[in-house]
Amino acid sequence: MLHLFLPILLAVSAHAEESMHSRVVDMLSGMESVPSAAQWLALGPAAEAELEAIAADASMLPTQRGNALVALANFPTERALALLLATAENAEENTLLRRKAIGALGQGWGAGALPALSAALGQADAQVRVAAVRALAALPGEAAVGVLRAHLAKEADATVLAELHKVVSP
């Protein structure tokens, strides 16, 4: 009997995967709005795998990949963490993706992201450092403020300094 039902089961499974993919891509492509955490979570755990696949897929558009990284903050698993860390630390990666990964680390892992966010302050790209400053500023506790205060003396870029000054006094 299995040989009769197997093709049907495979077809149903493929349709469900395609449906999830197109739904997630749609949600990552909003003109002026982005989905809420509740909307992502409503898709269930299958959404996480789809977001990871899109984030890692160089054929997808940068904003789709970046928004997939941001959405992974709603699925704080070890696998998502590994992808976000790898993206944030990869100096060869698109600046937009590194910025989004840094923001997602702060949003999804909170104080647990302190080491990665502190390290991002050492990246050469000023926009990445701005993202790290913002992510650190949003963390609870004094440890992140201490990191930002210590970075103040080392920072030379005017845009990064302006962002730092919003959080810590010179």
Partner 1 sequence: MSPPLFLTLLLAAGCDGGGAADNFDLVDLGSFTTDADGLVNIPWEAPEGVVSTEVFCGPYGYDTIATADDVSSPDGTMVFDDDAPYDGALRVGVLDDMLPVLVPVSPDLPAVAGEWSMNFFIDASELPATVSCSALARTGETSSSNLIDVNIVFVGVDGISAGMTAQAAESDDTVQAVVTGLGDLWSDLGVSLGTVRYSDFAGDVASATTIEGYSEFGNLLRTVDDGAELTFFMVQDIDLGDGASILGLSGGPPGVAGHGGTSKSGVVINVANVAASPEQVSLIMAHEGGHFLGLFHPTENDLGGQDPLGDTPVCSDSDGDGSLTSAECAGSGSENVMWPTAQVGTATSFTSDQGWVVARNPIAFPE
Site string for partner 1, 38-67 (x = CB under 8 A): -x--x------------------xxx--xx
**Is residue 107 within the footprint of partner 1 (CB under 8 A)?**
yes
Q: What's the closest the beta carbon of residue 20 comes to partner 1, in angstroms?
A: 11
Is the separation of the CB atoms in 163 and 130 below 8 Å? yes
Binding test (CB under 8 A) with partner 1, winner from 12, 16, 22, 141: 22
> How far is it, in rounded angstroms, from Cα 99 to Cα 129?
8
Q: What's the closest the beta carbon of residue 126 comes to partner 1, in angstroms?
A: 7
Sign, Cα dihedral of 47, 48, 52, 55: positive
**Is residue 164 within the footprint of partner 1 (CB under 8 A)?**
no
> How far is it, in rounded angstroms, from Cα 137 to Cα 131?
10
Q: Which residues within the stretch 118-147 sit at the binding site for partner 1 (CB under 8 A)?
A: 126-127, 130, 134
DSSP 38-86: HHHHHT-THHHHHHHHHHH-TTS-HHHHHHHHHHGGGS--HHHHHHHHH
Binding site for partner 1 (CB under 8 A): 19, 22-23, 26-27, 29-34, 39, 42, 61-63, 66-67, 70-71, 73, 96, 99-100, 103-104, 107, 126-127, 130, 134, 158-159, 162
